[in-house]
Chains A and B, each alone.
Chain A
Amino acid sequence: AQSVAQPEDQVNVAEGNPLTVKCTYSVSGNPYLFWYVQYPNRGLQFLLKYITGDNLVKGSYGFEAEFNKSQTSFHLKKPSALVSDSALYFCAVRDVLGGATNKLIFGTGTLLAVQP
Chain B
Amino acid sequence: NAGVTQTPEFQVLKTGQSMTLQCAQDMNHEYMSWYRQDPGMGLRLIHYSVGAGITDQGEVPNGYNVSRSTTEDFPLRLLSAAPSQTSVYFCASSYSGLKNEQYFGPGTRLTVT
B31 partner residues in chain A, CB cutoff 8 A: 102
B79 close to A (CB within 8 Å)? no
Interface size on A, residues (CB 8 A): 25
With CB as the reference atom, state the residue of chain A lying closest to B3: A43
Minimum C-beta distance from B68 to chain A (A) = 14
CB proximity to B under 8 Å, residues A5-26: 9
Q: How far does the alpha carbon of A82 sit from the alpha carbon of B38 in the complex, in Å? A: 27
Q: Say whether chain B's binding surface is mostly helix, strand, loop, or mixed.
A: strand
Decide: A101 and B103 in contact? CB cutoff 8 A.
no
Minimum C-beta distance from A33 to chain B (A) = 11
Given A101-B48, A101-B56, A102-B96: A44 touches B104 (CB 8 Å cut-off): yes
List chain A positions with a Cβ less than 8 A from chain B. 9, 32, 34, 36, 41-46, 49, 51, 90, 94, 96, 98, 100-104, 106-109
Q: Could you show 5 A-B contacts with beta carbons less than 8 Å apart?
A: A32-B98, A49-B99, A102-B96, A106-B35, A106-B43
Decide: A94 and B43 in contact? CB cutoff 8 A.
no
Decide: B98 and A102 in contact? CB cutoff 8 A.
yes
B103 partner residues in chain A, CB cutoff 8 A: 46
Decide: A108 and B42 in contact? CB cutoff 8 A.
yes
With CB as the reference atom, state the residue of chain A lying closest to B103: A46
Decide: B101 and A43 in contact? CB cutoff 8 A.
no
Decide: A90 and B105 in contact? CB cutoff 8 A.
no
Contact of B101 among A9, A49, A101 (CB under 8 A): A49
Contact of A101 among B50, B92, B105, B106 (CB under 8 A): B50
A107 partner residues in chain B, CB cutoff 8 A: 42
B4 close to A (CB within 8 Å)? yes
